[in-house]
Amino acid sequence: MNSNLDAVLLQNDLDCLFKWCTVNKLHLNIGKCRILSYTRKSQPLNHVYKINDLVLSCFDSVRDLGIIFDTKLDFSQHINSMSSKAYRRLRILKRKTREFSSEIALKVLNYAHVRSSLEYCSITWDPNYRNKIEIIERIQDNFLRYLLYKKNGIYLQDISSSCLRDMFNILSLCSR
């Protein structure tokens, strides 16, 4: 948005969208419509947008199809949320598989319940910063240490993550 004219044009587009939905008998849930602005300007243009005379709310972050988008597009909130969800799933997996001895079964369960949530739509939010990558890789490292414990009966902390990945033939999340 470079001027108020751009905001007016966007409002016209919203009006056209609503008319098109009405003509085609598509219900638009205006209560779920959100405004999220992306800008580097210190003083961004603030315009009140409406659909069918209902004001749309502005937000700093929005969840869409399971991904949290924020105004900076750095996906920190998404990575933190996804990581906590994956840790919860991993804790449940560990608790429910205490009696398991099959490495293959544990890997399959991890892929299905933990790793799949870490890889969901990763092409969209792929982290660029080392600290974000480490947060995600730490979850897999935790699982690999659990696998080693199940295999050897001891929990080793001083073994490297790359050694564990090689031992169990699991790629890092970054290389997938």
pTM (predicted TM-score)? 0.81
Q: Residue 81, SS3?
A: helix
d(CA 1, CA 4): 8
- Sorted by where each begins, the domain ranges of the chain are 4-59, 76-168
Read off the pLDDT of residues 114-142 as tens digits, 9 standing for 90 and up.
999 999 998 888 877 788 888 899 999 99
> What pLDDT, on a 0 to 100 scale, did the predictor assign at position 27?
94
Q: How confident is the model at residue 176 (pLDDT cuts 50, 70, 90)?
A: low
Percent of the chain with pLDDT over 70: 99
Question: Cα dihedral sign for 93, 94, 96, 100?
Answer: positive
> What pLDDT, on a 0 to 100 scale, did the predictor assign at position 54?
94
Q: Kindly write down the DSSP assignment for every residue of 149-170, as one continuous string.
A: HHHHSS--SSS-HHHHHHHHT-
Tell me the range of 93-97, 127-131, 148-152 where mean pLDDT is highest.
93-97
> What pLDDT, on a 0 to 100 scale, did the predictor assign at position 91?
97
Phi-psi bin for 53: left (phi > 0), alpha (psi -120 to 50), beta?
left
- On whether the CB atoms of residues 77 and 64 are closer than 8 A, the answer is no
